Amino acid sequence: MKDRTSDNIHFPRHAQRIPRRPNGVSGYHDLLGRAVLISIVNYLADVVDAIEDIKIPKQHKDHTRLKNDKRKMCDTVVRGANTLTALFNSVKGQTKYTDPAREFPSVD
């Protein structure tokens, strides 16, 4: 199988690309934290694949320019997805989670 540009996208630690179901929905039902990021990165990978699948006729007068623009667009989306992942991975996990509703005294 041909290497895809989307193969260059890095996913958050301990995560990998989730295969799409036929209806286009990812396997995540809880869209919180890491699942949101993985869902976004999955969609960006799908965008890159869709861009790569665009066929430009060789007879088109701007074939070379469009082909270069297509490559730049793919590379930009991959860099954006990798930046999101790097930001997520650089944040240290909190050991203590706070509930804002519990920070205020009860009025009972």
Q: What is the DSSP string of 35-96?
A: HHHHHHHHHHHHHHHHHHH----TTSTTHHHHHHHHHHHHHHHHHHHHHHHHHHHHSPPPSS
Over residues 37-61, the pLDDT tens digits come to 888 888 999 999 999 999 999 898 9
Which of these, 23, 27, 17, 25, lies nearest to 49 by C-alpha position?
Answer: 17
Selected residue with higher pLDDT from 5 and 72: 72
Tell me what pLDDT residue 10 has: 80
Question: Other C-beta atoms within 10 Å of 11: how many?
Answer: 20
CA-closest candidate to residue 78, choices 3, 2, 9, 4:
9
pLDDT digit string (tens) for 2-35? 688 888 888 776 555 555 555 555 554 545 567 7
Model confidence, pTM: 0.64
- The better pLDDT of the pair 98, 63 is held by 63
